[in-house]
């Protein structure tokens, strides 16, 4: 009963967001726009001519992005690598060692990632956030590194695509690990769910770095889309 109670807790959090989009949107509105961080003054766009105004992804593009994030190479790699590490550390010890426990750990990690991705895209749809990862249109390792890490908890919002704090980006990693309490040993509680959520959030940041520097998959199609504005201007008129 204990494990199902914790699983229900994560479901309540998600349902609250779904039933109160105005409240969640008001929370997001309280954070200042981070558009100025998208292109720092000393960071030059890779190809200024090719930068275009922001357009929200189509439903077909969203589905393609979701499939890539939920079932693509990074999702598989995270599940396998996480399972291998847990097997090495014998965590949780109740699962023991051997081929079957390794499969259980991989399946557990894949389940966490699936819930994380589904929650992120679902909440983003409700809150009018854009769950796609937008590669940095700038040069320089540190600028791109900062962009990837900051994108973990930020997202494009609204029709103009301004960048702001992302509720879905922050909440989804914890929803994934809280749900995992349903199949973890009974001794694992809410505190453990939050602790694992911290690691899950860090893993999302690492994945963003991979999307930025290694392989972006369908996210790469948004590499030349701008979302920055100047006072009295709009993204289409902005020149870097």
Distances (CA, A) of 95 to 99, 116, 181: 11, 23, 14
Please name which of 175, 192, 183, 4 lies closest in space to residue 94, comparing C-alpha atoms: 183
CA–CA separation, 178 and 173 (whole Å): 9
Residue for token pair 């967001």? 17
- Tell the burial category of 74 from Cβ atoms under 10 Å away from its Cβ (0-12, 13-18, 19+): buried
* 111 CB-near residues (< 8 Å, 6+ apart): 179, 180, 183
Please name which of 200, 68, 219 lies closest in space to residue 148, comparing C-alpha atoms: 219
For each of the chain's 240 residues, which pLDDT tens digit applies?
555 454 455 554 444 444 444 444 444 444 444 454 445 555 655 554 456 789 999 999 999 999 999 999 999 999 999 999 999 999 999 999 999 999 999 999 999 999 999 999 999 999 999 999 999 988 899 999 999 999 999 999 988 999 999 999 999 999 999 999 999 999 999 999 999 999 999 999 999 999 999 999 999 999 888 654 433 344 433 333
pLDDT reported for residue 52: 73
CA–CA separation, 232 and 230 (whole Å): 6
Distances (CA, A) of 4 to 10, 179, 180, 192: 10, 9, 10, 15
pLDDT reported for residue 27: 41
């Amino acid at each position: 009963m204990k494990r199902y109670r914790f699983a229900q807790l994560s479901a309540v959090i998600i349902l609250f967001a779904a039933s109160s989009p105005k409240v969640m949107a008001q929370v997001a509105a309280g954070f200042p726009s981070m558009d100025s961080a998208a292109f720092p003054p000393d960071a030059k766009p890779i190809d200024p001519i090719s930068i275009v105004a922001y357009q929200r992804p189509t439903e077909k593009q969203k589905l393609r992005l979701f499939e890539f994030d939920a079932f693509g190479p990074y999702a598989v790699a995270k599940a396998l690598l996480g399972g291998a590490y847990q097997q090495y550390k014998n965590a949780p010890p109740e699962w023991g060692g051997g081929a079957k426990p390794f499969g259980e750990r991989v399946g557990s990690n894949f389940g966490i990632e699936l819930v994380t991705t589904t929650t992120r895209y679902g909440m983003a749809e409700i809150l009018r956030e854009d769950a796609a990862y937008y590669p940095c249109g700038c040069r320089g390792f540190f600028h791109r590194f900062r962009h990837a890490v900051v994108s973990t908890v930020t997202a494009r919002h609204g029709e103009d695509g301004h960048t702001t704090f992302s509720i879905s980006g922050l909440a989804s990693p914890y929803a994934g690990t809280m749900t995992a309490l349903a199949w973890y040993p009974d001794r694992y509680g809410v505190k453990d769910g939050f602790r694992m959520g911290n690691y899950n959030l860090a893993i999302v940041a690492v994945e963003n770095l991979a999307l930025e520097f290694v392989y972006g998959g369908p996210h790469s199609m948004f590499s030349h889309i701008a979302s920055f504005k100047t006072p009295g201007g709009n993204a289409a008129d902005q020149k870097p």
